[in-house]
Structure 1
Amino acid sequence: MADADSIGPVSARPGFAGPRRRLRPVVGKARGILRESLPELAPSDLVLVACSGGPDSLALAAVAAFFQHRKAFRVGAVVVDHGLQEGSGEVARQTADALRQLGLAPVEVRTVRVVPGSGGPEDSARKARYDALAAAAVEHRARAVLLGHTLDDQAEQVMLGLARGSGTRSLSGMPASREFAGALLLRPFLPLRREETLEICAVEGLEPWHDPSNDDPGFTRSRIRHRVLPFLEAELGPGIAQSLYRSASILAQDADFLDQLAGREFTRIAEVGADRVLLAEAELNALPTALRHRVLARAVVELGGAQPSFERLRAAESLLRRQGSAGPVQLAGKVSAYRQARNSGPSYGKLVLKRLSQSQET
């Protein structure tokens, strides 16, 4: 199941490019949201829409096409064929044809190979998709890549984070903007509801494909969408999705600020080597817990590891008390942490985070 919108073919009904129509409020709203989310662009600058053919990304493509017709900037599209469904190649081809009918150029289909990983099929498909989008952004020198996630997607993402017991960064949901392959990765439609993208498609004479896997209860996101959120609406009253979106927006600001502070502290106290990071214990201990955990996590990521869990961070933090074991404590991504037990050597008084060598891994 896709984490944004459906995967499938789409068609434009006859008359799409017909007589000038009165602007519908939802279309005007979407155009305003998109324009405000974009950086300053020249007519020659290219923006790529990641379009699956589902209602969210198709509506985004139609709204972006308006600016291409006005020659504000160029708009192209990328359709990623994951090859996970029977007939996915034909689905991708039809989607690309519909995007060309909207006037987008270049439009290309990128077929990817989804390699199973520890994060499950959805995570593996997502990684393959973003790799393909990054390659397209670099090849076409795009200024921005647009994704069609909506407010409803953000609410579901926050619920997933709550179910996993995640921290501030995860509960802040998907970022509206981040750097990506020399461009910006933007989610301009986060303030829009899913029903509004369906309305945009109807207004623009477009028929999106609805991926049946989005209704498959075998996927956690699908159960949140069709069972959990409707149950909460029924029991707690309407507006749950909007409340979760609002909470994510507030938490994103907090997480950005804490990450900025932690980055400064990491720069101040960390000694970064080829395969290890040394953190002064006294100065690390003096930090508030929220910053200390972030500095530890930054050291792990600096060594090529993944974001450690709360439990692993607490285990590494326990080394600072100099009681019991000196480690090592295994962290995410084959990175371990330990403290120098003896009062000798340059690493004494410092927490050592080290990346395992290939020989150690095997």
Structure 2
Amino acid sequence: MTLDAEIRIARTTFELDIAFTVEPGEVVALLGPNGAGKTTALRGLAGLTPLSEGRIVLDDHVWDAPPDRFVPAERREVGVVFQDYLLFAHMSAQENVAFGLRARGQHRAVARSQAAQWLERVGLGDHLHAKPRALSGGQAQRVALARALATDPQLLLLDEPLAALDASTRLQVRAELAHHLADYPGHTVLVTHDPFDAMVLADRLIIVEHGAIVQEGPPTEVARMPRTDYVANLVGLNLYRGTAQETSVDLGDGAVFTVAEPAHGAVHLAFAPTAVSLYPERPSGSPRNTWQVTVTGLEQHAHTTRVRLSGAPAVLAEVTPATVADLRLHSGAQLWASVKATEIHTYPA
């Protein structure tokens, strides 16, 4: 029962053209910047936006294949959890969860009983009669998840499900959501722009930029081998493209890096900001991969400081507060950067 989606949706100034599959029990995350087309894809899967071209097929049931076939949203076995929950304000938590069951023909008493069971499963068994305004953000999101799962959908769609939560609530709900997704036997598509949510919840990442897929793979693979600047920024790596000849990689503009493992041809070259060492003067002994840089920005991140540096090449470094003080880092400061060859990872472009 594979979900096979070839989604082409044309707008006046934008076109989405992506294709992917989702296996039973698999969680696939569509990850990308705002405007990449993620929500448009979700609306296509849900039946809220018809395809311009392509097809959506689940277990040999064709949901959309223009121009001849289109199954409306209410006839698709789909559960949707929206970013802003979209709970009915005048209904209790139990009535909200029972709504989908009633819409599919369940007797009221049966629907209410199943709704109560689902609320118990998501830890809200003592909130059956609470209205949405009396619930916290995390509780409301759990009600929305219970409502989506109660109808036993073949496809579960999650649209930025944690975006509206505060940091502490998000941590708890993310863990609970991971647990429920592990137990869900159907197909799950998660739409998010948050890399941590995607890394924790998804089995496979699909990176979408400008309406197209630019990278796809397991979270660990994507995190280790980013292929676009957007992905590199998401996972916190410095990324360059160059031409390798043995252990030398030419990045252009006079920048040449020495790497530990020989390679040939077009490659990506990546290393962590923590691998960058900064010096007030050129290090003695002239170690390899040393170049002059200028500080262009400082950003505080928890217990470290990220330093943006221009140069050939520009680079992002991550240092301790003590290093900031020792080097007297400020915008415009001129320094030397260095990266050990063993800290650099290369892979085919």
Normalized per residue, the structure richer in helix is 1
Shorter-chain TM-score above 0.5 = no
TM-score (normalised: structure 2)? 0.25
Normalized per residue, the structure richer in strand is 2
